[in-house]
Structure 1
């Protein structure tokens, strides 16, 4: 199973990456805005080095602006990853404009992720484009009244391992559990969901009992 931390918040990177749970970090303009960052001003070489120093093997970031600028931006992200010594992945929205930009971006020989996926038919496109990842927005699909669990299962069958289905927009660890029992094994997690995986009240109670026994203070 591969987990990715889904945030641009520096404090969350510092807090959660050292746990060793995460293969990498994913972000986009909306997450950067929430973190108080101006997306066009981000120094991706610095960000990539920070991610590497915290143990990340991959950094996923999303194109933005006029579609004509996608290729130049993607080239800079790949270069940032090369300088930092980690794999950078270019996220491209599954829009007609985004799809048309893929062949030229692919010519740069770096990995791509097709994002903002809402329907299994879009996996046909991602597969035909030879995308490395496809990211369905599970939480948003569920909130829109779509049969999200069944649709994600269909996506996983269609992809058959390539592209890798990277489930995004999760709302809880319970959603992650439901998806994992249907064969999904690659997730982006918000800091809140990531922290919810780190502890359980009964586990904490048991650990406290062990410590009490070890110190002879009783149970």
Structure 2
């Protein structure tokens, strides 16, 4: 892996992955909203930022996302559903990574191994859902998983050595999760980054369109 593009590189996981890759000697292009003005929910902004990049990337990883948006906490019941909060969740957690892939497809090589990965979450698994709640976030991540699956099928026709996957990083000690760590064991961002990179390193084209956790175990859709 020689070149990597990290979208959402100012967040806890994105920063750690960019640092880990740089330590390996990988040439990392790091983009984020806070540092570069890249709003992944704005199609024109995504197009402009990615059109400005040259060459191809062996890894494109989207580490954007949020559990709370504009102060809207995860819903515990149907009574808590609000249209704006649901749309905000879909825009950032599902549409955002899909727009990145839409405009980054030309940056993926067709003549060698490459990986496109988007950070999803186990709570987005429909098959693994036993507790309910967290409607917007769960639904947005489930939508992301479907978008990843569709893109993997399409791109496999032209990029024979490409793996397009959704990855669950586990619970990581970041601002993203601070209010919700409570009963869940969590790992520092640097450890999460190494776990994810270990999974990415082991991917083959046969894994495209699948959903894996930080340990490389497949997660049910």
Please state which band the TM-score falls in when normalised by the shorter chain: 0.3 to 0.5
Q: Which has the higher contact order (CA 8 A, sep 6+)?
A: 2
| TM-score (norm: length of structure 1) | 0.38
Larger Rg: 1
| TM-score (norm: length of structure 2) | 0.38
